[in-house]
């Protein structure tokens, strides 16, 4: 294993461990956020705030996708691209009182954020809990 594999993870390993793809629901409007909050009363909603211009965000998203798809029965997965939806990103920050970062994952259950993580902390989220 080379140094880049140790630092960034092995693409070969990630591809062999890939189970199901993540079926992202793109968040683009305030009414979609309201629907997400309402849906969180029947199923936890996961929001991934992603920056298209950040290498860390891209890598973190790929690593997350490598294992998260198998949890589609437990969560609805929402993707917010911050460059395209800055106002919605700010609305999420105010709504849930969680400071904006990207990449960032928020899990919403019964209308509140029950956990959140950003950057490398996203790798340590246990979606099985």
Cα–Cα dist 38/16, whole Å: 36
Residue 62 burial (CB count, 10 A): 13
Q: Residues 83-108: pLDDT tens digits?
A: 999 999 999 999 999 999 999 999 99
Q: Given this model, what pLDDT does residue 11 score?
A: 55
pLDDT of residue 5: 55
Nearest to 114 by CA among 125, 102, 106: 106
Range name among 5-9, 18-22, 84-88 with the lowest pLDDT average: 5-9
Alpha helices in 40-115 (DSSP H): 55-68, 86-96
Q: Which helix (DSSP H) or strand (DSSP E) does residue 24 occupy?
A: none
| 40 contacts 88 by C-beta, under 8 angstroms | no
Average pLDDT over residues 31-52: 97
* Residues 42-83 pLDDT 10s: 999 999 999 999 999 999 999 999 989 899 999 999 999 999
């Amino acid at each position: 294993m080379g140094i880049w594999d140790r630092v960034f993870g092995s693409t070969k390993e990630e591809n062999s461990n890939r189970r199901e793809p993540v079926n992202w629901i793109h968040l683009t409007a305030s009414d979609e956020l309201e629907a997400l909050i309402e849906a969180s009363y029947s199923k936890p909603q996961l929001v991934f705030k992603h920056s298209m211009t950040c290498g860390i965000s891209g890598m973190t998203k790929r690593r997350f996708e490598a294992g998260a798809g198998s949890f589609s029965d437990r969560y609805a997965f929402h993707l917010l691209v911050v460059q395209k939806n800055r106002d919605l990103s700010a609305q999420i920050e105010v709504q849930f009182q969680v400071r904006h970062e990207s990449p960032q994952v928020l899990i919403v259950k019964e209308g509140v954020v029950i956990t959140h993580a950003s950057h490398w902390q996203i790798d340590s989220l246990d979606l099985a809990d």
